[in-house]
């Protein structure tokens, strides 16, 4: 339980000393200054614009020189498996007629949303979204690796606002990955914010909405496969007892309104999101929960909730990698 927003705002990076080397190594590979012109609500920063598009052309392609190049990409096979979908899987599909996805070679990029310098949304208790994103992504990474997905990688980007998010995507495309999952925490449009005081500091909150949501882009070249994973992810989040955020399909959201693709799993389309539409591999963005909602912020700060979400993500990845997991039961 969160005792204080300041507590982990001040010591957030000190709690993973054993991972520092790994993070530093990864950061050295993919750290790229990014420009985010709008430090407001999270969704704004992912929208492409003509300005961003122009600046992106001046961005040099990053060189992941020290990353080992995989021998062969299982993407085609993965897409084929995923395209079957859990619902459409016939008994015959249980037969190992084709080599199944090998978790040890399946490359997953966990994109930590925002940066230390440009932290995204600010929680009801004045903690940057980036802090939540990093903690959750690290927990997911640990669980995926524990389940045999040894090629799981955190994608950390640094820098102040102003740089194009295309840089982040370039790093991802050059890794390269079989699956891209961007980790975020949700907020609300500014018009919904209310004032309150937390630890003597004027703060802002909105208890109006809560829940996770999953986004895909129709403009992603692997849209169908992205949607397959998104639906698995939404299904597993729901199976963990979580509820999705329903407000995005409502008129009250104005320009933040998005089509709800699956009313059971909470999968929305957000076609302009740069990290989704520019990624060459299947790409999904998870808003794990609301940190502007005062009650949900406390939950999102708990190790218990991180474990629950990590369990959902890991189950979805396993099922995506091998749909038979969906038949064989809980993972």
Name the DSSP letter for residue 67.
S
DSSP 239-274: HTT--B--GGGSGGGGGG---EEETTTTEEE-TTBH
Beta-bridge mates of residue 196: 203
Helix axes 129-146, 303-321, angle to 10 degrees: 50
DSSP 179-203: EEEEEEEE---GGG-EEEEETTEEE
Strand 201-205 versus strand 194-198 pairing type: antiparallel
For Zn ion, the closer CB: 133 or 228 = 133
Residue 77 CB, nearest distance to Zn ion (Å)? 32
Residue 283 CB, nearest distance to Zn ion (Å)? 15
Residue 177 CB, nearest distance to Zn ion (Å)? 20
SS3 276: helix
SS3 69: coil
For Zn ion, the closer CB: 32 or 286 = 286
Residue 112 CB, nearest distance to Zn ion (Å)? 10
Strand 179-186 versus strand 108-112 pairing type: parallel
Residue 36 CB, nearest distance to Zn ion (Å)? 10
For Zn ion, the closer CB: 117 or 147 = 117
Bond prior to 176 in cis (omega within 30° of 0) = yes
For Zn ion, the closer CB: 43 or 225 = 43
Rounded CA separation 309/155 (Å):
19
For Zn ion, the closer CB: 42 or 171 = 42
SS3 65: coil
For Zn ion, the closer CB: 120 or 311 = 120
Residues that bind Zn ion in the complex, under the rule CB under 5 A: 42, 113, 120, 184
Residue 133 CB, nearest distance to Zn ion (Å)? 7
Residue closest to Zn ion, measured at CB: 42
Residue 253 CB, nearest distance to Zn ion (Å)? 16
For Zn ion, the closer CB: 5 or 120 = 120
């Amino acid at each position: 339980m969160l005792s204080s927003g300041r507590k982990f705002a001040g010591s957030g990076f000190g709690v993973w000393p054993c991972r520092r080397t790994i993070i530093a190594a990864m950061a050295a590979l993919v750290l790229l200054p990014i420009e985010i012109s709008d430090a407001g609500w999270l969704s704004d920063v992912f929208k492409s614009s003509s300005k961003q598009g122009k600046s992106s052309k001046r961005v040099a392609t990053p060189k992941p020189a020290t990353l080992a190049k995989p021998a062969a990409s299982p993407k085609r096979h993965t897409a084929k498996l995923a395209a079957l979908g859990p619902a459409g899987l016939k008994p015959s599909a249980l037969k190992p007629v084709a080599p199944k996805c090998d978790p040890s070679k399946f490359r997953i990029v966990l994109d930590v949303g925002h940066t230390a310098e440009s932290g995204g949304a600010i929680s009801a208790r004045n903690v940057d979204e980036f802090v939540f994103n990093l903690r959750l992504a690290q927990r997911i990474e640990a669980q995926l690796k524990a389940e045999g997905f040894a090629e799981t990688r955190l994608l950390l980007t640094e820098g102040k606002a102003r740089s194009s998010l295309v840089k982040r995507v370039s790093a991802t495309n050059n890794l390269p990955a079989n699956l891209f999952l961007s980790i975020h925490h949700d907020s609300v449009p500014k018009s919904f914010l209310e004032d309150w005081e937390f630890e003597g500091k004027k703060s802002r909150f909105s208890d109006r909405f809560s829940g996770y949501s999953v986004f895909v882009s129709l403009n992603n070249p692997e849209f169908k496969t992205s949607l397959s994973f998104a639906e698995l992810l939404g299904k597993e989040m729901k199976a963990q007892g979580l509820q999705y955020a329903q407000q995005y399909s409502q008129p009250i959201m104005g320009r933040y309104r998005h089509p709800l693709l699956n009313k059971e799993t909470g999968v929305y389309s957000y076609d302009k999101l740069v990290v989704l539409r520019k990624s060459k591999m299947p790409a999904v963005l998870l808003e794990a929960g609301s940190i502007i909602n005062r009650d949900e912020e406390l939950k999102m700060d708990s190790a218990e909730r991180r474990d629950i979400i990590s369990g959902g993500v890991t189950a979805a990845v396993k099922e995506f990698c091998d749909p038979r997991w969906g038949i064989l039961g809980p993972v």
